[in-house]
Amino acid sequence: MTSAKHAKGPRDIQRLIRLVTLGLAVAAVVKEVRTPADEREWHGTVVGFVPYDFRIPTVARLKERLWDPESSHVINPRVFGVGWTVNLGKVVAVARKQIAG
């Protein structure tokens, strides 16, 4: 018999994802703060492969990461924060190509 407090549900998974994301954000900030001030870029990767970008978002970066149908990538680094986002422009372009045959 499974106890309700031991069951893993969507809320527990969401909480875990938030905790991991927060930990990665803290690690990224620590990485930047440990870098000499004149060499800080506030974007890069943490733990070897997770992208982060803490620069003020620009329209060009928004377009590049969220709506670039010409890109070869469906998944891009987030415009601001830690992790990835979906390039909706590429998704639409691929869907249109599939529909057109």
Residue 101 has pLDDT above 80, yes or no: no
Q: Does 6 score more than 90 pLDDT? A: no
pLDDT of residue 68: 97
For the residues 41-59, what does the mean pLDDT come to?
A: 98
Give the separation between CA 72 and CA 21, rounded to whole angstroms.
Answer: 26
Q: How confident is the model over 5-20, as a mean pLDDT?
A: 86
CA 37 to chain CA centroid, nearest Å? 25
Computed over every residue of the chain, the mean pLDDT equals 93
| Annotated domain spans of the chain | 10-100
Is pLDDT above 70 for 7? Answer: no
| 60 CB-contact burial (10 Å; exposed 0-12 / middle 13-18 / buried 19+) | exposed
